[in-house]
Each structure stands twice: as structure tokens, then as C-alpha cells.
């Protein structure tokens, strides 16, 4: 290894702390200090101008331009070098003696309209295309994009560009892609899928510093041929921290047949890598009918905040264990209750769902479920709300919000079982005023009038829509004489005889016999 003499103590300390260099930096006066190479001896590097170049070996992969412009895809023996971007005027790197020099001008001209490169631009481009790992401050260079976009498009491999978040949204094109944690999950997966393909044409991948260590950039596309360019981002990220999840995913997918899916799942769970588990199981979900895979995918998606994906799978999948999934979602207490609603609605856990939503003060989800998802299950919701001692005003408002969509008979049954029929009075009156002739509506209304003793005989003798047997039987335990009125109106002879005999109403029975004669 060559040693580089750095005269400035502050610069030396900064370079040592970065731990990104293959060269050895020595303090002035150290026993093994040596002189800088001739082409680098005319300046002192500064932290604000340049840091270092380290060895980078290109992969022998195809490129549509590198042969045309003289760029070699073979491994390059990189020697340590230091270039001052602002003032070095390094003749070695700014010269036209490189095999791609002529083609470089032509390509840059077609791409940027710039047929004459500045010396500073040429230094960075030549050093990069020679196989050096260029790490430089290019803030003072006009047309700084040229310094990394030209090598990116000409050389094998892919260039990773770290940019401020606002720039990601504007990255579009066949050879350029932007990847951010703020994107929709489906868009992230689409981009990652493109990068994995051997036929991918992407040469520039733009990411933010905040997400570079979290996003799964496929190792097969990065490899030894990746170049890194940081655009106004602090603090700088170390290479060693990049892409841990993608490496694990690649190994897991490659050896899954030999290892089996279950051991791979246990490995991700052992290290609590739910993001890795999420992406790993995502590749098997569509082809698997294993309930455990579907459940663990839902679990991993929930723990990584992929709520939309949890909602989609709980709505579409037929293979997860409903009881197990319901219990997990209740324990997870997601801010969005739609996944739990999907499970409970599909598999008949409506009372459990209602109890969970009410006790967690998620009343708007109760309203949304009854009004938009399944009004037919409103009776079960109302019954559970009554058991949970929910305020009557909320229940009445809920019932009135769906009105004619409600199945009346089960709703009446749920309220009648709990002796809360009067709760439905306003709702039933609304239906009658709208012209409803539903027998269940009039039966329920008759029962409420009988319980409230609000001139029940008038209702029993004038209302033509109620069922005499149903209402008469309801009257028997409350007032047998009213049952007689109801049965007589419906000409229910057997019921009349039974109720009068049972309650010793013999005088009334005699009058009825006269009436029938």
C-alpha cells in the first residue's frame, strides 16, 4: 500500500475517521511517511474540497456504450490517488489521453449539449471511468450532473445517487429510477422488481439518505460495479451499512428449496426482521395455500406498517386462519380497523368486532361498517352495543342512518331478547310513515304500543298489517284480553279457545261463541 502524506492535521483526522480508504494516511513526522506522487505534490487537499478515492472493481456485465467509447469492463488495478476538484488542474486526470476521450465529448454533447468538458468535470469522469472510487465535493462545479451521469450511462454497473427527498418525485425515465420509503408499497415493489431483472436498463438509482439503509436494493444489480454519488446530503453513509436486508432476502430465496420455507421464516423471526419476512413471504403468497404463510405475511405487514397490504390480504385471501388472525389484529391495535373488519365480517365475528371497536372508542368504524360494508349485520351490531351499555342516542342514530336497508325481523329479535323494543319506536314510525306494509314492522310496532299501554285496542282492531298469531301470543303474558282481540281479528279459533280456557275467561268465551254464530 502506498502512503499518502497529508500536511494538514485536521484533514488527516477527518480522513482517518471516515474509514473509507484503501490508502494509508500518515501524520507528518511518522517513520513511514513518504512523499506524494509527482502529479499530486503541487497542492494540499482540504476537507471541503476532496476526501479520497478507493479501489473499485467493475463487473464484466453488458453495457450499450462501454465498448463504443473505449471503457473496459475488465477489473482495474486501482492505485491510490487524490484530486482537488476546485484547484488541482491535475494533468493526469484532466488529459485527453484516455481511450474514451473522443467518444466522451461526443456522448456528453448529445446528452447535455456540452461538447467541451471543463477540466474539473473531466478529472472526475476520467478517474471514475478508470476504475477509481471517486469521493469528491462537486458543489463548485457548473454542470455537476455531468460528473456522475456520463460515467453512469457509459460504464457497466449501476450508480446509486443520494439526493434530498424533494428531488425523488421528479425522477422518471427508463434508465433512471427514484426509490423512497414515502412511496406506495406497490410502487416500491415494482421498482425493486425491475432492478432484480437481468434485463433491467436502469443505470441511475436515486434514493434519500434517510432510506438508503432501509430499502432493499437488490445486491445482484449493485455488486462490485456500483458507483455512489451523494448530492448535498449530510451526514454521509458508510458503504458497510448498505443493503443488509436485500442480501438476506437473496440468500433466503436462493436456498429456500434446500432449507425449506419454515426455517427461513424462523430465521427472520429470530432476528425480528419483519421487513425481511414481509418481502420474503410476499414472493410466495400468491402461489401458496398454507395458512401459516398467509398469517405470518399479515403479521409481518402489520408490524412494518404496511396497513394497505394487510387490508388487501385480509379481504382477498381465503387461506389464513380467521380466529388466529382476528386475535392478532385485536392485540396489534392498528390505527386502521379495516383489516379487522374484513376478517370479522367474512367469518362471522361481528359481535367480537363490535365489542372491540366500541371499547377502543372507534365509533366511526362501527358507523362505516353498518352503513357501507354490511347493513345486513346491523342487528348483531345493535345487540352487542346494547350488551356493552352503549348510549341509546348513538344506537338510534346508527339505526336511522340505514333505515330501509335494515332487516327488521332480526333487529326486533335482538332488541326483544334484551327487553329494549322501545328503542326502535322512532325507527318503526319512520318506516310506517314511508308507507311500509312489512308485517315485521307492524308486529314490532304493535308490541311497543301494547307494552306502553298506548290505546292498544285501537291498534289491534284497526291495523290491517300485523300478524294476529304473533301479536296475540305476545299479548297472552301481558294481557289475555288483548290477545283475545288480536286472535278474534285474525279469526284464530284454536288460539282463542286455548287462551280463554287457560285464563278462565269463560264469560268472554261465551260472548265469542255468540259472535261467531
SS3 159: strand
d(CA 98, CA 155): 14
pTM beyond 0.75, yes or no? no
Confidence of residue 135 (pLDDT cuts 50, 70, 90): low
Query: Any idea which of 109-123, 158-172, 219-233 has the lowest mean pLDDT?
Result: 219-233
Q: How confident is the model at residue 55 (pLDDT cuts 50, 70, 90)?
A: very low
What is the pLDDT, as a whole number, of residue 428?
A: 94
At 50 the pLDDT is 29
**Distances, alpha carbon 65 to alpha carbons 106, 107, 188, in Å:** 12, 9, 28
Percent of the chain residues topping a pLDDT of 70: 69
What is the grid cell recorded at 74?
A: 475488465
What is the pLDDT, as a whole number, of residue 385?
97
Q: In whole angstroms, how far apart are CA 346 and each of 76, 282, 350, 363, 509? A: 61, 23, 9, 20, 53
Beta bridge partners of 159: 204, 227
| Residue percentage of the chain with pLDDT more than 90 | 38
Share the mean pLDDT of the chain: 75
173-218, pLDDT tens digit by residue?
A: 667 888 777 777 777 778 777 777 777 778 888 887 666 555 544 4
Task: Specify whether the CB–CB gap between 232 and 139 falls below 8 A.
Answer: yes
Element (H, E) at 207: strand 204-207
Q: Return the axis-axis angle of helices 101-112 and 145-154, rounded to nearest 10°.
A: 110
Check if the beta carbon of residue 298 is closer than 8 Å to that of residue 326: no
Average pLDDT over residues 26-30: 37
146-177 pLDDT, tens digit per residue, is 777 888 787 777 777 877 766 776 776 667 88
Q: Is the pLDDT of residue 129 over 50?
A: yes
Q: What nine digits make up the cell of 361?
A: 372508542
pLDDT value of residue 149? 80
pLDDT in the model for residue 500: 86
> So what's the pLDDT on residue 220?
40
pLDDT band at 355 (very low <50, low <70, confident <90, very high): very high
Write down the pLDDT at residue 90: 65
Amino acid at each position: 500500500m502506498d502512503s499518502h502524506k497529508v500536511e494538514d492535521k485536521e484533514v488527516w483526522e477527518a480522513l482517518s475517521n471516515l474509514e473509507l480508504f484503501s490508502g494509508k494516511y500518515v501524520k507528518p513526522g511518522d517513520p513511514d511517511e513518504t512523499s506524494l506522487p509527482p502529479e499530486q505534490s503541487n497542492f494540499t487537499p482540504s476537507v471541503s474540497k476532496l476526501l479520497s478515492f478507493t479501489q473499485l472493481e467493475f463487473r464484466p456485465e453488458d453495457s450499450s456504450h462501454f465498448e463504443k467509447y473505449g471503457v473496459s469492463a475488465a477489473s482495474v488495478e486501482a492505485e491510490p490517488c487524490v484530486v482537488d476538484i476546485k484547484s488541482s488542474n491535475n494533468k493526469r486526470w484532466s488529459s485527453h489521453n484516455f481511450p474514451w476521450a473522443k467518444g466522451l465529448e461526443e456522448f456528453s454533447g448529445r446528452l447535455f449539449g456540452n461538447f467541451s468538458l471543463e477540466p474539473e468535470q473531466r478529472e472526475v469522469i476520467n478517474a471514475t471511468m478508470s476504475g477509481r472510487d471517486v469521493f469528491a465535493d462537486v458543489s463548485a462545479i457548473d454542470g455537476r450532473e455531468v460528473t456522475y451521469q456520463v460515467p453512469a450511462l457509459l460504464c457497466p454497473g449501476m450508480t446509486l445517487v443520494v439526493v434530498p427527498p424533494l428531488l425523488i418525485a421528479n425522477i422518471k425515465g427508463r434508465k433512471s429510477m427514484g426509490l423512497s420509503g414515502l412511496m406506495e408499497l406497490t410502487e416500491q415493489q415494482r421498482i425493486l422488481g425491475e432492478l432484480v431483472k437481468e434485463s433491467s436498463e436502469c443505470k441511475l438509482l436515486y434514493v434519500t439518505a434517510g432510506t438508503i439503509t432501509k430499502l432493499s436494493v437488490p445486491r445482484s444489480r449493485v455488486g462490485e460495479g456500483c458507483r455512489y454519488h451523494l448530492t448535498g446530503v449530510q451526514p454521509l453513509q458508510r458503504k458497510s451499512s448498505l443493503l443488509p436486508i436485500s442480501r438476506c432476502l437473496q440468500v433466503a430465496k436462493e436456498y429456500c428449496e434446500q432449507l425449506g420455507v419454515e426455517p427461513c421464516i424462523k430465521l427472520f423471526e429470530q432476528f425480528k426482521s419483519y421487513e425481511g419476512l414481509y418481502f420474503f413471504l410476499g414472493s410466495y403468497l400468491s402461489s401458496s395455500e398454507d395458512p401459516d404463510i398467509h398469517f405470518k405475511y399479515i403479521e409481518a405487514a402489520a408490524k412494518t406498517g404496511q396497513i394497505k397490504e394487510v387490508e388487501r390480504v385480509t379481504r382477498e385471501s381465503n387461506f389464513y386462519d380467521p380466529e388466529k388472525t382476528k386475535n392478532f389484529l385485536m392485540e396489534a391495535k392498528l390505527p386502521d380497523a379495516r383489516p379487522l373488519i374484513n376478517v370479522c365480517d367474512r367469518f362471522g365475528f361481528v359481535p367480537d368486532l363490535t365489542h372491540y371497536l366500541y371499547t377502543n372508542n372507534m365509533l366511526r368504524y362501527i358507523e362505516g361498517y353498518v352503513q357501507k360494508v354490511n347493513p345486513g349485520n346491523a342487528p348483531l351490531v345493535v345487540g352487542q352495543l346494547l350488551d356493552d351499555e352503549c348510549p341509546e342516542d348513538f344506537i338510534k342514530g346508527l339505526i336511522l342512518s340505514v333505515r330501509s336497508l335494515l332487516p327488521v325481523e332480526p333487529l326486533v329479535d335482538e332488541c326483544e331478547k334484551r327487553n329494549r323494543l322501545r328503542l326502535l319506536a322512532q325507527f318503526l314510525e319512520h318506516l310506517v310513515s314511508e308507507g311500509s306494509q312489512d308485517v315485521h314492522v307492524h308486529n314490532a310496532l304493535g308490541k311497543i304500543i301494547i307494552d306502553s299501554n298506548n290505546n292498544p285496542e285501537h291498534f289491534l282492531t284497526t291495523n290491517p298489517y300485523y300478524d294476529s298469531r304473533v301479536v296475540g301470543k305476545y299479548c297472552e303474558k301481558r294481557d289475555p284480553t288483548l290477545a283475545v282481540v288480536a286472535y278474534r281479528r285474525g279469526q284464530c279459533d284454536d288460539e282463542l279457545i286455548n287462551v280463554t280456557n287457560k285464563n278462565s275467561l269463560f264469560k268472554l268465551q261465551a260472548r265469542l261463541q255468540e259472535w261467531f254464530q
